Structure 1
């Protein structure tokens, strides 16, 4: 039902993945996919060759390779031979995260939902994404969680969001696939990576056995780790 579905199919060529077209701009700023062009000042410097059998990026030779690379935090201009001199500052706490935390608190309290929506839309407007509208608590909760996943990708926050929201059984369980790769299949099937499992006991780490043994008051083990 997506209005861009057919446009993505029409954009597909032997050296272009149409499925990545007409997406949230943050996707292109975050992920490198097969055949994606490295463009600096309007000039194409190279193309990611995950599907090239003679390329060092050949994902068929590396079982752990998904066919995707991370672009966020990378010096894409390549002006510094020494990458430690690149002008990318790793944030400790980012303003966008603060806005989303505030929005999440209001949504979970089911209070002042228009304000929560305004904070989310401030982030979406920055990247020219359409604004969301005020809706029910359950709808806005899903909107907020999607926004955090997109906005804070590769910032080390996703694991803690999963634990806080208790959604491990939904997002950390099942088969995991990478990109569609010709080197894996001429039919361009998605590359199978692994099957993950989840048990609710994993919301907490086990108490170290040494700590249990050394506690005269019989420190209890976390549920499921006994």
Structure 2
């Protein structure tokens, strides 16, 4: 057992050296948000809640690494850089010692642990300034973020270890067996139900509210193939048209330094001292980036076709030297938001759910709302199968550089036909090698 104590630090050192981004540290202004272990009053509860969103937006989670799994593993991106770990996603041959999956796994669990501290401690705090309303809000936000964390773990790795109480070190969860995929998803739903009952009914594009929980529930039910529930929860958000709508044109939610538009259900904010690391990998050297990956020829053909991509061609740009690059993340300094949920997703969730329920007229109406915003003609799909394919293709373009494409193809059993990933074992990622080596009770996924 003594040997195991030294494996994790050694592997961590190797992983840190293997990829430059892991040398980055959070700026000093992040330090005050890090301590979720000490929650004794209103001020420390607020600090812990700020830290919860800081963890969600970290480089290894929605700041880049986790989201990049979704777009690199799809069919829109070509690898142009020097890090072979990136090519593993594009070629669908991810190794268990891949540094990006190790950092994403650890970051998600660190975020869940922050949520656990808030859930366990905030309700018991005695401070007149920490009202019951604030207690409910902070605790509800923690339930929402924990639900998102387990949802992301489940769709990436399958059933995982579930920890619902605060821990001090990563080793504290050693010895916990992996739950099944159903059990993990059941935890997601349980947390979303709890969040729904506690969160405020207001609109906030940077923090979870009841409507944010409804949006994630719509996504959850889509993944679980619970079509009626997916339609119901998508409708609950879409119906709030005073606060959520498809902005015109497509680029209006991100161009010209836009933030918190009515397109956004939940986005994560960054600053000049706490930057979004997506930008560096997308922008070319001429713009101060590395262009580690870029839109591939197939995607460029689609997005630049006025009848298919329409005004979504704003997603790409070309240097004077003729290099195409993705332009969703473009700001300097890199204060680009990370988009967790957009209202366009709710429209396409409802379209897919309605198509599955054989409500073809309702489905095509929803699909065409998104197409109209993109400036392209209405869909001509006339059958259920044609409509589902049209929705799939629309999602490919609409969320091209967000973390959806890989997960969409896996959840619809289309990864084999579209990507050639016929080995079902490869449709989940390997548990990071360091985690398996350090915890004898953590079982590796089949095929790795």
Q: TM-score range by the shorter chain?
A: 0.5 to 0.7
Q: Is this contact kept in 1: 2:312–2:374, CA < 8 A? A: no
Q: Distance in 1 between matches of 2:385 and 2:301?
A: 33
Q: Is this contact kept in 2: 1:26–1:150, CA < 8 A? A: no
Which residue, 416, 425, 428 being the options, matches 1:204? 428
Q: Distance in 2 between matches of 1:158 and 1:22?
A: 21
Corresponding residue for residue 151 of structure 1 = 398
* Gap regions ≥5 residues in structure 1: 1-16, 37-46, 51-66, 76-81, 174-196
Q: Distance in 2 between matches of 1:119 and 1:22?
A: 20
Corresponding residue for residue 326 of structure 2 = 70
Q: Mark the CA change 1:18 to 1:138 in structure 2 (over 3 Å): closer, same or farther.
A: closer
Which residue, 84, 91, 94 being the options, matches 2:334? 84
Q: Is this contact kept in 1: 2:311–2:374, CA < 8 A? A: yes
Coordinate RMSD, CA, aligned: 3.1
Q: Is this contact kept in 1: 2:312–2:398, CA < 8 A? A: no
**3-state SS of paired residue (2:400):** coil
Does residue 102 (structure 1) correspond to residue 358 (structure 2)? The answer is no
Compute the displacement of 1:90 (Å).
3.0
Q: Is this contact kept in 2: 1:113–1:134, CA < 8 A? A: no
Q: Is this contact kept in 2: 1:168–1:198, CA < 8 A? A: yes
Answer 1 or 2: which has greater strand percent: 1
Q: Distance in 2 between matches of 1:139 and 1:168?
A: 18
Q: Distance in 2 between matches of 1:26 and 1:171?
A: 25
Which residue, 305, 308, 313 being the options, matches 1:28? 313
Q: Is this contact kept in 2: 1:201–1:224, CA < 8 A? A: yes
Which residue, 363, 367, 370 being the options, matches 1:120? 367
Q: Mark the CA change 1:69 to 1:134 in structure 2 (over 3 Å): closer, same or farther.
A: closer
Q: Distance in 1 between matches of 2:438 and 2:387?
A: 42
Which residue, 137, 140, 144 being the options, matches 2:387? 140
Q: Distance in 2 between matches of 1:70 and 1:212?
A: 39
Aligned length: 144
Higher relative contact order (CA closer than 8 Å, sequence separation 6+): 2
Q: Mark the CA change 1:139 to 1:21 in structure 2 (over 3 Å): closer, same or farther.
A: closer
Corresponding residue for residue 63 of structure 1 = none
Corresponding residue for residue 49 of structure 1 = 321
Report the TM-score, using the length of structure 2 for normalisation.
0.29
Residues 25-78 of structure 1: per-residue CA shift (max 9 Å, x gap): 24421122xxx4xxxxxxxxxx5313xxxxxxxxxxxxxxxx431012324xxx
Q: Distance in 2 between matches of 1:25 and 1:126?
A: 9
Q: Mark the CA change 1:145 to 1:206 in structure 2 (over 3 Å): closer, same or farther.
A: same
Does residue 214 (structure 1) correspond to residue 441 (structure 2)? The answer is yes
Compute the displacement of 1:120 (Å).
0.8
Alignment of 1:181-196 (within 5 A): none
**3-state SS of paired residue (1:84):** coil
Residues 147-204 of structure 1: per-residue CA shift (max 9 Å, x gap): 000111101111211211122223334xxxxxxxxxxxxxxxxxxxxxxx65221122
Answer 1 or 2: which has greater helix percent: 2
Compute the displacement of 1:127 (Å).
2.1
Q: Mark the CA change 1:26 to 1:152 in structure 2 (over 3 Å): closer, same or farther.
A: farther
Compute the displacement of 1:108 (Å).
2.2
Compute the displacement of 1:222 (Å).
4.4
